[in-house]
Amino acid sequence: MTRAATPSREDHVASDARSLRRRTMQPREEQAASESSRPADGYFRLHLEAMATGDFDKRQTAGLGLIACGRQSLPYLTRMLASGDARSREDAAAVMAGLGEQAGDVVGLLLAALRAETDVDVQDGIVVALGALKSDAAIPALIDLITSPETDSVTRECATYSLEKIPAGSPTS
């Protein structure tokens, strides 16, 4: 009597190893893009790798990939916005701005991040993102930045620019 041709544990392990080899032999950008079940996860991992290695091109690819993933990227962007790395926080704000209407209700997250932020470059990135999202909810914070004597000139310019982008009667996300 012959045994049925059911895959053994060894067959599964060998198959997993072949799959892993194929994935690790691809360039990282292609690997991130090919992870179809959770593409945002792949781009988030690419972002982490770029932050660790200082690779600006990978950082840019990761950001564009997260934008392409739309709302699926929001949990990762929330983590990036809370990161200890200023570049990661700045990237999160830029990607949220790039999502536009797909970003949903991130204005509150950005406003909270702006209040807590101490790095002026990240503040400027958040301020520009708030303008790109065009929400009335950002207006009081932008006016505060413009009128505060403690605001540096670049941040004040960013706030003025962002305030001008918010049309009267825009949504209050």
Residue 44's identity, in one-letter code, is F
Q: Please give the model's pTM, rounded to 2 decimal places.
A: 0.74
pLDDT reported for residue 103 = 81
Look at residue 168 in the predicted model and tell me its pLDDT. Answer: 78
Supply the pLDDT for residue 170. 57
Burial of 119 (0-12, 13-18, 19+ CB in 10 A): middle
Contact predicate 167/139, CB 8 Å = no
How confident is the model at residue 171, as a pLDDT?
Answer: 55
Q: Please give the Cα distance from 132 to 52 (Å, whole number).
A: 28
pLDDT along the chain (173 residues), means of 10: 47 45 47 57 94 94 94 94 95 94 88 96 96 94 96 96 86 51
Distance, CA of 37 to CA of 22 (rounded, Å): 17
CATH superfamily of 26-165: Leucine-rich Repeat Variant (1.25.10.10)
Domain regions of the chain by residue span: 26-165
**Which one, of 61, 19, 27, lies nearest residue 44 by Cα?**
61
The H-or-E segment that residue 151 falls in is none
3-state secondary structure 155-168: HHHHHHHHHHHCCC
Do you know the residue count of the chain? 173
Q: Quick one: tokens of 91?
A: 């990237």
